[in-house]
Structure 1
Amino acid sequence: MNSTSGSGGMPLHNKMLIGFLIGTLAGLAANFFVADAGWLNGLITYVADPIGQLFLRLLFMLVIPLVFSALVLGVVEIGDPASLGRIGLKTLVWILAVTAIAVLIGLVAVNLFQPGRGIDPVVAQSLLAASSDRATEIASAREGVSGIQVLLNIVPRNPVEAAASGDLIAVMFFALMFGIAATALRTPGTRSFVAAVQGVYDICLKLIGWVIALAPYAVAALLFSITARLGVDVLIQLARFVGTVIAALGVHFLIVIPILLWIFGRMSPLAFFRGAQPALLTAFSTSSSSATLPTTLKVTVENLGVPRRVARFVCTLGATANMNGTALFEGITVLFLAQFFGIELGMGQQGLVLVLCILGGIGAAGVPGGSLPVIAMILVMFGIPPEGIGLILGVDRLLDMCRTVVNIGGDMAGSVVIGRSEPAEAPDTALDAALADTHTGPV
């Protein structure tokens, strides 16, 4: 993800920081001086909450087309293993395995450090009742559903009904099946369909850009509502959340990836980080996998010694589909807000969060806040008030920079591992031809 500038030239993340500060300071002042005033409750109910709700509704509006188009294009990008040979299959395995490890680390970190605990349960329940009627309805509707039924519900009877009811995992399964079938077929009609899906994806990115431009105002409104009710306690929870995310990203980036490089890539982690440094610094400064891609390709080939055909495929695909850091962040965010609002998620539900975050990382939108629609829908699926996203947006700039580094590091590490497993004499021409036929998604 990257930052855009508004019409006045100020970067979006600066505007969001200003909104965060204004909303937080105004909310704290209201909590301290006029907490019991009737007009304050009216201001929250009729001004601040509707502004935040409008922002969230705009995000929900984009969930289904974004997830469907991103997953279809992500699968098509990976391509048919029969056409791409070993590299396509190895890349798919790397993406799924490493992303699963990243999300699992995030879930373990949240359960271990409990960053969302500490809010008075009575206050948390009042927030839950006041701000998320729909989430409460969904939570009660999910009670009593057996594990077998959850498994069966992955396959939708009616994908349109699943989309209308917000059953995100069923929509994801349908999109994956569509993508696989589109990859298997090489007909003019299929290529036209994929081109149309690409258009839907591009439109979603544009709309998300417009919606996220409203984020500074939504952040101010949402933070005012929460801090006016909770006071300074919310800032303590927020600091613990940031610490948990950074710690989990650090474990994945500094421990898991080096181990994978050492075992499967036969490369010294120190040599990897030394060679990858230009791309990692670019990723940290831009917060954009797409903007870093030219540097990533150059560094992977020249500094890390990966064959050009492997680097071009794995890194280009990874810029849109291999989002280890983003998936980890999504998992932590969902569980943190569940803890914050006093909602208990069992191991089965956390396993479902794991799957949703893995799939949500494939084709994640490369724009500011591109993962927010997926996070918001996952929150609603588990009865967690999506208004809590306002908390996250206020500190998202630093976390965005950190998780982009993890995303790029995972792409380059995957290139090294896959490159080491490939025969040196394999020609580029066959793969180039397959890529020309397969790469219809965003690159």
Structure 2
Amino acid sequence: MSQNAHKYSLTTRIFIGMVAGIIIGALLQLLFDDSGDFTFSIFGFSFSTYGILVEGIFSTLGQIFIASLKMLVVPLVFVSLICGTSSLTEPSKLGRLGAKSVGLYIVTTGIAVSLAISLGLLVSPGENLNLSTENEYVANTPPSLSEVFVNMFPTNPINSMAEGNMLQIIVFAVLFGIAMAMTGEAGKRISAFFEDINTVIMKLVTIIMNLAPYGVFVLMAKLFATIGVDTIFSLAKYFGLVLAVLVIHGLVTYSVLLKLLTGLNPMILFMKMREAALFAFSTSSSSATLPVTMETARNKLGVGNSVSSFTLPLGATINMDGTAIMQGVATVFIAQVYAVDLSMADYLMVVLTATLASVGTAGVPGVGLIMLAMVLQQVNLPVEGIALIIGVDRLLDMTRTAVNITGDCMVSCVVAKSENELDESVYNDPAAGEKEEDVDLQHFDRNS
């Protein structure tokens, strides 16, 4: 990378890339609509300018960037969790970490969906709105509580890693780390080996993060070149309500919980989360953002490795506050569009289903719509109503992912504080973690 690029912090470069991508994407949609696109021929082959830029260059580079981030998730979670677990001197500490983390994640999700339903009933986003549906979404039968617990334990850990089943990876890594801690000298030797691997993986994270501004640029350009502005206008009330509830939950709920449970200043958390939030916004994936979230928690917020390596991968898997908010508002919206009166018992069922459905749901783009199908089925609403909101869901998915990873870090801070694993001097230091280690990729060319 050039020295000029390093004049700005990584957060600033990501923001510039995001804004530039939005502008370029919007311009492409204006310039190359159905009547304005033009084609040219080379050696008898016809090419569309719009197709080459959007579906070709932007789409390909964006998919490569997302794939590069996802490439890090399984090794990062597995290795860091083993390192953190094997370093625990008290076996009982792991049980406390699990109970506190899961408990807080379920509480915040319950608050999120309850807030969404309450404001949805107050604002009535689907009132007097008649929209046609063309697509039908078939809901999968939600797993029972016993199935959720059984499915947490892998029968084949290698297959779990290949499929990216995060809950099973977490369980296996925790058990493996506990076994290492109980093995004595052999465990210490293996632990040192995993610590070295962890160092190498974090270096790889640094390399990928240096490419993030360019990845964010192509992702935003692709999105805003394809999404229709008229779609947003037709669902403005629904869109605005979901966005408002996400902001309220992210700023108010998390601030109150953090202040009450730790006494820490919430504004510091939000300021230090801006880089990870931009990543989450651009990728729409809690799992893909996990490497950045873990680095933020450790280096900027002062969360100990033994806590962050457990709570953050778990949060990326089961903490779906943003998705629960969408489900709550969407349920009210679809019920109002179809003139279906839901009882208080129905809304309580929505709260319960949305909260439990978040456990074990993959942190990938678009998964919220599949979960919503389950919720709608539970209260006998037409599942094809999802087609009404799918046009604007991509933009909302970006925002709710940023809310999700902010909640992950808030819970990590609370758990770390309760376990005396939070370095408050790092948390309160505005410059902590800001001296990023840039990787000069030209260095490899000069020495090759």
TM-aligned CA deviation for residue 285 of structure 1: 2.2
TM-aligned CA deviation for residue 425 of structure 1: 10
TM-aligned CA deviation for residue 131 of structure 1: 9.1
TM-aligned CA deviation for residue 235 of structure 1: 7.2
Contact 2:303–2:422 (8 Å) recurs in 1: no
Match of 2:147 among 175, 180, 187: 175
TM-aligned CA deviation for residue 390 of structure 1: 1.9
Q: Which has the higher helix share?
A: 1
Amino acid of the residue matched to residue 124 of structure 2?
Answer: Q
CA distance in 2, matches of 1:167, 1:285: 31
Spell out the pairing of 1:128-277 with structure 2 (5 A cutoff): 168=142, 171-179=143-151, 182=153, 191-192=154-155, 238-277=235-274
Give the match for residue 285 of structure 1: 282
> Mean alpha-carbon deviation: is it higher for 367-376 or for 343-352?
367-376
Give the direction of change, closer, same or farther, for the CA distance of 1:381–1:197 in structure 2 (3 Å limit).
farther
TM-aligned CA deviation for residue 291 of structure 1: 2.0
Q: Determine whether 1:89 maps to 2:99.
A: yes
Q: Determine whether 1:358 maps to 2:330.
A: no
TM-score, structure 1 as length reference: 0.56
Q: Determine whether 1:101 maps to 2:111.
A: yes
TM-aligned CA deviation for residue 85 of structure 1: 2.6
Give the direction of change, closer, same or farther, for the CA distance of 1:350–1:424 in structure 2 (3 Å limit).
closer
Gaps of 5+ in 1: 1-9, 23-76, 136-164, 183-190, 203-215, 224-231, 427-443
Q: Determine whether 1:328 maps to 2:325.
A: yes
Give the match for residue 421 of structure 1: 418
TM-aligned CA deviation for residue 358 of structure 1: 0.8
Q: Which has the higher contact order (CA 8 A, sep 6+)?
A: 1
CA distance in 1, matches of 2:156, 2:335: 39
CA distance in 2, matches of 1:172, 1:201: 21
CA distance in 2, matches of 1:346, 1:420: 41
CA distance in 2, matches of 1:257, 1:263: 10
Give the direction of change, closer, same or farther, for the CA distance of 1:131–1:310 in structure 2 (3 Å limit).
closer
Give the match for residue 409 of structure 2: 412
TM-aligned CA deviation for residue 193 of structure 1: 5.6
Q: Secondary structure of 1:247's partner?
A: helix
CA distance in 2, matches of 1:322, 1:402: 15
Spell out the pairing of 1:23-62 with structure 2 (5 A cutoff): none
CA distance in 1, matches of 2:271, 2:135: 48
Amino acid of the residue matched to residue 406 of structure 1?
Answer: V
CA distance in 1, matches of 2:375, 2:382: 10
- Give a deviation string over 1:150-172, Cα, whole Å, max 9, x none: xxxxxxxxxxxxxxx9653xx33
TM-aligned CA deviation for residue 195 of structure 1: 6.0
CA distance in 2, matches of 1:194, 1:178: 14
CA distance in 1, matches of 2:366, 2:335: 20
Q: Secondary structure of 1:87's partner?
A: helix
Contact 1:310–1:415 (8 Å) recurs in 2: yes
TM-aligned CA deviation for residue 263 of structure 1: 1.0
| Count of residues paired in the alignment | 286
Give the direction of change, closer, same or farther, for the CA distance of 1:311–1:235 in structure 2 (3 Å limit).
closer
TM-score, structure 2 as length reference: 0.55
Contact 2:232–2:392 (8 Å) recurs in 1: no
Contact 2:302–2:422 (8 Å) recurs in 1: no
Contact 1:275–1:299 (8 Å) recurs in 2: yes
* Coordinate RMSD, CA, aligned: 4.0
Q: Secondary structure of 1:192's partner?
A: coil
Give the direction of change, closer, same or farther, for the CA distance of 1:356–1:200 in structure 2 (3 Å limit).
farther
Give the direction of change, closer, same or farther, for the CA distance of 1:395–1:259 in structure 2 (3 Å limit).
same
Amino acid of the residue matched to residue 389 of structure 2?
Answer: I
Amino acid of the residue matched to residue 345 of structure 1?
Answer: L
Give the match for residue 63 of structure 1: none
Q: Secondary structure of 2:273's partner?
A: helix
CA distance in 2, matches of 1:399, 1:103: 15
